[in-house]
Amino acid sequence: MKLLAGCPNCGRTLQLSLSAADRRIACPACGRKFKVPDMRDLQKALSVADAAKGAIYVDENGNVDG
Ligand SMILES: [Zn+2]
């Protein structure tokens, strides 16, 4: 399963592993650091991903889309 996070600065979609959850990462495009939502937030993401059978998309505010 892939975890996708949108950079809040440049909007680039970063492909992450689930181990990046609840950590601060740096965008490779612009260098902006931002927080990846933690697994509590990702619980709903995982249920979305189960339904979608694909990647899950999160943003800095913990919003989740399938
Ligand atoms: Zn960026």
Sequence ranges of the domains in the chain: 3-65
Kindly give the distance from the C-alpha atom of residue 14 to the centroid of ligand 1, in angstroms, as a whole number.
9
Q: Report the distance separating Cα 7 and Cα 61, nearest Å.
A: 11
CA dihedral of residues 22, 28, 29, 34 (deg, nearest 10): 20
Look at residue 25 and give its three-state secondary structure: strand
Q: State the pTM of this model.
A: 0.64
Per-residue pLDDT of the chain (66 residues; tens, 9 = 90+): 678 899 999 999 999 988 888 899 999 999 999 998 876 766 776 676 666 666 778 888 878 776
Q: Which residue has the tokens 């950590």?
A: 23
- CATH fold for domain 3-65: Rubrerythrin, domain 2 (2.20.28)
Kindly give the distance from the C-alpha atom of residue 11 to the centroid of ligand 1, in angstroms, as a whole number.
6
Q: Report the distance separating Cα 31 and Cα 60, nearest Å.
A: 15
Residue-level pLDDT at 52: 62
Look at residue 60 and give its three-state secondary structure: coil
Q: Report the distance separating Cα 25 and Cα 10, nearest Å.
A: 14
Residue-level pLDDT at 59: 85
Kindly give the distance from the C-alpha atom of residue 41 to the centroid of ligand 1, in angstroms, as a whole number.
22
